[in-house]
Amino acid sequence: MSDTLQGRSIDPGDEAQLLATIDRWVEKDVRPIAKEYDHADRYPEATVEQMKELGLFGATISPEYGGLGLPAGTYAKIVARISQDWMAVTGIFNSHLMLALAIEKFGTPDQKAHWLPKLATGEVRGGLALTEPDAGTDLQGIRMTARRDGNGYVINGTKTWISNGIEGSCFALLVKTDPEAEPRHKGMSLFIAPKQEGFRVGRKLEKLGYKSIDSGELVFDDYRIPADNLIGGVEGQGFYQATGGLALGRINVAARGVGIAEGALQLALDYAQIRRTFGKPIAEHQAIQLKLGDMAARARAARLLVLDAARKFDSGERCDMEAGMAKLFATEAALENATESLRIHGGYGYSKEYDIERLYRDAPLLCIGEGTNEMQRIIIARQLVKQGGLAS
């Protein structure tokens, strides 16, 4: 990982002030609209403008390009806090920051100077365009091609399940510049792809949860792009560039899991103290206490795993195993806590009037996105075998 992206730190006082600002913003502007916007699957335009003002679109971008330059640990705490109330909001800026990460880590000096300041302010917003109808976790199976044509490329194909696909304006686009290359990953390249002629949104994809952030199908039909938009300026590096931010991406998804696990616990605790059965609050019934105890332990363990992975990332060490552990445990904790919280709410948990049903719908995505949890288990096991066990 480039030194410009790791080794960052923040003064504890500055971090506390930043987190307090985020907390006030969530309480005042995010929580009050979450239910309405989620049920309507409505894009939160005013919230996006507020996130621009808060600097969230430049959260992990280096200060030299106008970003906040936050370390992974602080960024994870922000994501967890927002996700306690409305996870979808975090996806709007996180997917965008994965685009910025690809450019900052692998881009040419000109690419960084041109794109990163615009991404940091949110003037340009977007994300990663990797997944295709027949290629998700197996990125080497993509079919989109880019053919060299003079001083540029002509791109054809379709991407799907792209976050910010409709509202975003620019994407890191993974294509095959040499479809015959063996092994397959050596024929892949990554481009900076702004919306223009030849690039259209096919359709908006409807989802169980994770509403209000648009997931789109992107169609490229003889889309012409200058060679200057090839990230790094060299063909054949796209697979490594696209997967180069996986550790940070998994820390982010794990942080969302922490937020949902903690949010579900708080909702359950609040409800259990006001709901009465057999003459006393249900929080005084042992069956409910057993659930709350397990939920609290899961949420705490998830947070500590995320902070451990973030600490290792920020120190510049390799952390794919730690990030995988955090992603695996925290997202499963989110799903378990959301389920248990809904059960504590009883029939009301199944009602759209209560916030827990949103967390219950959002949580399953985390076990699938950024590499399925089945894949995380394989990654963890392979690293254990390679290292000969857990490091102290």
CATH number of domain containing 70 = 1.10.540.10
Q: What pLDDT, on the 0 to 100 scale, is given for residue 221? A: 97
Taking each helix axis as running N to C, give the angle between helix 12-25 and helix 72-83, from 0 to 180 degrees, rounded to the nearest 10: 20
Tell whether 262 is covered by a domain.
yes
φ/ψ (deg, to 5) at 59: -55, -45
Note whether residue 181 is domain-resident: yes
- Residue in 116, 301, 92, 298 with CA at minimum distance from that of residue 210: 92
49 plus 173 within the same structural domain: no
Q: What angle do CA 136, 59, 263 make, to 5 degrees?
A: 70
pLDDT for res 94: 94
Domain CATH for 249: 1.20.140.10
Distance, CA of 246 to CA of 232 (rounded, Å): 18
Helix pair angle (45-54, 12-25), 10° resolution: 160
- The C-alpha atoms of residue 117 and residue 279 are separated, in whole angstroms, by 60
Q: Would the pLDDT of 1 be above 60?
A: no
Distance from C-alpha of 334 to C-alpha of 353, rounded to nearest angstrom: 21
How many distinct structural domains can be found in the chain? Answer: 3
Is residue 5 domain-resident?
A: no
Same domain, 223 and 253: no
Q: What is the pLDDT of residue 49?
A: 97
Looking at the fold, whether 120 and 44 belong to one and the same domain comes out as yes
Domain boundary among 205, 239, 273: 239
Respond yes or no: is residue 27 known to be catalytic: no
Average pLDDT of the chain? 94
Whether residues 120 and 134 share a domain: the answer is: no
The whole-number average pLDDT for the span 90-115 is: 96
The pLDDT tens digits for 277-298 are 999 999 999 999 999 999 999 9
pLDDT digits over 21-51, tens only? 999 999 999 999 999 999 999 999 999 999 9
> Domain for residue 7, yes or no?
no
Are 17 and 58 found together in one domain? yes
What type of residue sits at position 168?
A: G
- 72 in a domain, yes or no? yes
Residue 387 in this model has a pLDDT that exceeds 90: no
Q: For the beta carbon of residue 369, count every other beta carbon within 10 angstroms.
A: 20
Mean pLDDT, residues 300-320 taken together: 94
Tell whether 113 and 141 lie within a shared domain.
no
If DSSP codes are grouped into helix, strand and coil, which group holds residue 175? strand
Question: Pick from 125, 81, 136: which is nearest to 213 by CA?
Answer: 125
Choose among 256, 242, 200, 222: nearest CA to 87. Answer: 256
Claim to verify: residue 209 and residue 255 sit in the same structural domain: no
Does the residue 1 lie in any domain? no
Return the percentage of the chain with pLDDT > 70, whole number. Answer: 98
In a shared domain, residues 223 and 294: no
Position 2 scores a pLDDT of 43
Question: Which of the following is catalytic: 322, 332, 357, 370?
Answer: 370
**pTM (two decimals):** 0.94
Residue 392 lies in a domain: no
Q: Which pLDDT band, with edges at 50, 70 and 90, does 392 fall under?
A: low
Q: Tell me, what's the pLDDT at 5? A: 59
Percentage of residues of the chain with pLDDT beyond 90: 88
Say which CATH number the domain at 146 has. 2.40.110.10
- Whether the predicted pLDDT of 7 surpasses 80: no
Do residues 143 and 166 share a domain?
A: yes
Q: Domain ends where: 79, 109, 126?
A: 126
Query: Which of these three, 239, 269, 304, is where a domain ends?
Result: 239
Q: What is the pLDDT of residue 286?
A: 97
pLDDT at 354: 97
**Whether residues 193 and 258 fall in one domain:** no
- Mean pLDDT for 78-92 is 97
299 & 382 share domain: yes
**pLDDT of 389 over the 90 cut:** no
CA atoms of 63 and 68, how far apart (whole Å): 6
pLDDT of residue 149: 96
**Residue 362 CB contacts under 8 Å (≥ 6 apart), including other chains:** 87, 88, 209, 210, 260, 338
* Across 15-24, 182-191, 254-263, 359-368, least confident range: 182-191
- Is the pLDDT at 3 greater than 70? The verdict is no
Q: Which amino acid is at 359?
A: L
Sign of CA dihedral 139, 243, 177, 111: positive
Tokens of 139: 């990125």
**Facing residues of 192 across strands?**
172
* Domain containing residue 204: 127-239
pLDDT in tens, 136-175: 778 888 999 999 999 999 999 999 999 999 999 999 999 9
* Residue, of 300 and 181, whose pLDDT is higher: 300
pLDDT above 60: residue 265: yes
Domain-embedded: residue 328:
yes
pLDDT at residue 369 greater than cutoff 50: yes
Domain check: are 227 and 118 in the same one? Answer: no
Q: 238 and 174 in contact (C-beta within 8 Å)?
A: yes
